[in-house]
Amino acid sequence: MRHPVTVQNGYVNHAFPCGTLALDFLGTLRARRNPVPAEKLATPELLDDWFVESGMLDAAPHADDADLAAAVELRESLYLLVEDRLGGRATLAAASAAAAAELAGQAGPAGPAEVAAVGPAALTAAVEVLNRYAAEPPVTVRLEVAGVGDGVGGGRGAGDAAGSSAAASIRRTGTAAQGLAAVAREAVEILGGPDAALLRECGRPECTQVYLDRSRGHRREWCAMRTCGNRVKVSAYRSRHRTSTPTPTSSHA
């Protein structure tokens, strides 16, 4: 299992509330229902940051403009399929794709002229995009054990070294294209498997983050309790407080 990492200076550009990287990747375009969504992949450098901060790659792959355009294409095609699975807000999804492409300065999977024409053909195209990226080689994963294969360790056998979990580590390397392939493969597993029935959208109206509801009884309402859940609860508390506080009246002698 991959875990998001903290970069050296402690500052991160991206959030990972879902615990599922393919769905967290969708969240790089935030507040999709706003007139201007918040684009978190505005530059190739921000795409590099996402790969590293997510824990998918150990080092930045040095993405370029073509990689950024590919990332937006994959993300918006995936969003179209997820929204269709959730019940279909296809026009909204296409509008989000167009907005993301405009913000990134790239051609997305659907331009403004096609926003009103989203339908089976657009879904078919989105499936083809997802499958195309998933067919590419994924991130390279390598087990590294101290003293094995590096000429050190005093002749200790591989079995002895592997027996120490503290001496072992996982190294993840690859290009931006390989990182996108890993995202696409995880998305295929979600959409084509039983987890598709667990897809939910965050209950906070301003948030459009999608997650997998694995909670007992499937009662999870928020992408993350510490952010959206707390905001909704605080807002509800303030609303109740305002309505329950009597309005002072003035008296006249």
Same domain, 151 and 181: no
pLDDT at 72 over 90: yes
Q: Hey, what's the torsion of the CAs at 129, 107, 182, 219, to 10 degrees?
A: -80
Here the tokens at position 86 are 């959730």
Same domain, 169 and 182: no
Q: What is the pLDDT of residue 227?
A: 62
- State how many domains the chain has: 2
Q: Write down the residue that tokens 């510490």 correspond to.
A: 226
Same domain, 189 and 80: yes
Alpha-carbon span 7 to 145, nearest angstrom: 23
The helix/strand/coil state of 200 is: strand
Domain that holds residue 96: 21-137+176-198
Same domain, 150 and 186: no
pLDDT at 63 over 90: yes
Q: What share of the chain is helix, strand, coil (3-state, %, to 5)?
A: 50, 10, 40
Q: What is the pLDDT of residue 95?
A: 45
Same domain, 88 and 160: no
Least confident of 59-63, 136-140, 174-178, 199-203: 199-203
Q: What is the pLDDT of residue 221?
A: 67
pLDDT at 110 over 80: no
> Does a structural domain hold residue 232?
no
> Does a structural domain hold residue 207?
no
> Does a structural domain hold residue 1?
no
> Does a structural domain hold residue 244?
no
Average pLDDT, integer, range 99-124: 56
> Does a structural domain hold residue 130?
yes
Same domain, 162 and 108: no
Q: What is the pLDDT of residue 33?
A: 84
> Does a structural domain hold residue 224?
no
Same domain, 184 and 66: yes
Which residues of 95-136 form beta strands (DSSP E)?
none
Phi and psi (nearest 5°) for 239? Answer: -65, -45
- Dmax over Cα atoms in the chain, in whole Å? 100
- pLDDT tens for each residue of 131-162: 999 999 999 999 999 877 655 444 455 455 44
